[in-house]
Amino acid sequence: MKSRLAFCKSWCKIEGTIHALHQPEQTISELTNGEYPTLVFDATGNAKSMKDSIHYVAHGGGIVYVRLVQNDISFSDPGFHKRELTLLGS
């Protein structure tokens, strides 16, 4: 997983990546000085990670699911609408 994140970081020329299984909220806070990103990409194909990604995006931001998962994914609809999020499958 670390090598994939390193590749994405260098290929996309981005400042940081988040490993969903290793304290994602703390890492997000450190990378953004306490702010949440306006766009979150989840390319894990892991239902739990994809479900949790809704908590890592700023109000009015967006989530992009890049990989398929063979399970149902659910999250709180009132929480999704309250934060005015956009969800995109790619």
What's 39's domain CATH number? 3.40.50.720
Q: Name the nearest CA neighbour of 67 among 37, 39, 89, 40.
A: 89
pTM of the model: 0.75
Tokens read off for 28: 């997000």
Full domain range(s) for residue 56: 2-89
- Whether 52 and 19 have beta carbons less than 8 Å apart is answered as no
Q: What is the pLDDT of residue 38?
A: 93
Q: Name the nearest CA neighbour of 50 among 85, 16, 81, 20.
A: 20
Domain count, the chain: 1
Q: What is the pLDDT of residue 44?
A: 86
Average pLDDT over residues 22-49: 88
Confidence of residue 87 (pLDDT cuts 50, 70, 90): very high
Tokens read off for 80: 């999704």
- Whether 38 and 14 have beta carbons less than 8 Å apart is answered as no
